[in-house]
Amino acid sequence: MSGRHAKTILALQKTPVQANLNWQDIESALLSVGAVLTEGSGSRVRFDLNGVTLSAHRPHPQKEAKRYQVKDVLDFLIRTGVVK
């Protein structure tokens, strides 16, 4: 995992939840920890890691993830054991 990915994962853990995280950075960080990306229809994406699945929509037209998306990604990382 690169320093940029580590910074993104640390930003996901900040309280209060940040609403200015770039979705592409989040996707890249998830891929760097071994998550498998499956493209769905439209903006739907699915990440699988350690038997845990995260389903999400890419935000559009903006590039930043919404707060609930950041919370969902953090919950996914906790359930997979990447973050404690």
Residues 6 or more apart in contact with residue 7 via CB below 8 angstroms: none
pLDDT tens digits, 8-63 = 999 999 989 988 999 999 999 999 999 999 999 999 999 999 999 999 999 989 99
CATH number of the domain that residue 40 is part of: 3.30.310
Number of domains observed in the structure of the chain: 1
Domain boundaries, position 16: 3-80
pTM for this entry: 0.92
CA dist list (Å): 12 to 4, 26, 40, 43, 57: 13, 9, 24, 21, 17
